[in-house]
């Protein structure tokens, strides 16, 4: 089956890219080529990668600080442009989109949380914070502050997951229009 979409990204962003690609792969078997999922062990990775890139109709470039510094990503988008592929840059952070990619309509995800680490705001040093551990209904001491931090991290994770789903939905919509997919 012919590969229609090639995923170009920095390995440092694999965790960010993976759930989005998962959703794209559900659309149609063989639709998406992503290096670590699509190259079988024992195959020459570089030859396989560039064969898939030549075959693809659309190249999605996940653009951020990491991909801007990646020689592989540069080589991939340059080849895509040279071969007159549809190129879809996805802006993940505030890294400036370079001129060759800026010529293509992009999707802006900089305001979403898909590329941000899950971190809590800084707190006062421990010596300045009063500590009070009340007992729960079983007589055990409970760190309410830690519980609240865990709840906040959980909320942030849900927001990031929701943002990733929205990203995938927008990409799916764009690909559906280009490739006549359901």
At 76-124, the pLDDT tens digits run 999 999 999 999 999 988 899 999 999 998 888 777 655 555 555 566 5
End-to-end CA distance of the chain: 18
Nearest alpha carbon to residue 55 among 10, 1, 18 = 1
Count of domains forming the chain: 1
User: What b/e readout covers 79-96, taking b as 16+ CB neighbours within 10 angstroms?
Assistant: bbeeeebbbbbbbbbebe
Q: In the prediction, which pLDDT does 66 show?
A: 93
CATH of the domain at 83: 3.40.50.10140
Which tokens hold the place of 152?
Answer: 């906040």
Residue 42 lies in a domain: yes
Residue 132 lies in a domain: no
Is the pLDDT confidence value at 179 over 90? no
Domain that holds residue 29: 5-117+154-179
Which tokens hold the place of 173?
Answer: 């919509």
Residue 136 lies in a domain: no
Calpha distance 99→101 (Å, rounded)? 5
Q: List, for residues 34-61, the tens digit of each pLDDT value.
A: 887 787 888 888 898 898 899 999 999 9
Residue 23 lies in a domain: yes
Is this structure's pTM higher than 0.85?
A: no
Determine how many CB atoms are found less than 10 A away from the CB of residue 53.
20
């Amino acid at each position: 089956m012919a590969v229609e979409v090639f995923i170009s990204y920095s390995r440092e962003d694999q965790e960010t890219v993976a759930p989005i690609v998962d959703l794209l792969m559900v659309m149609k078997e063989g639709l998406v080529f992503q290096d670590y999922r699509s190259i079988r062990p024992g195959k020459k990775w570089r030859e396989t990668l560039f064969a898939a890139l030549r075959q693809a109709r659309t190249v999605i470039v996940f653009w951020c600080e990491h991909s801007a510094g990646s020689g592989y990503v540069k080589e991939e988008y340059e080849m895509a442009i040279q071969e007159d592929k549809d190129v879809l840059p996805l802006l993940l952070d505030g890294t400036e989109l370079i001129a060759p990619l800026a010529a293509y309509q992009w999707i802006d995800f900089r305001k979403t949380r898909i590329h941000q680490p899950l971190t809590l705001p800084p707190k006062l040093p421990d010596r300045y914070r009063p500590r009070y551990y009340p007992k729960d209904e079983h007589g055990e001491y409970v760190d309410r502050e830690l519980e609240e931090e865990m709840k906040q991290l959980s909320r942030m994770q849900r927001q990031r997951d929701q943002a990733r789903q929205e990203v995938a939905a927008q990409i799916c919509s764009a690909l559906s229009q280009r490739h006549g997919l359901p």
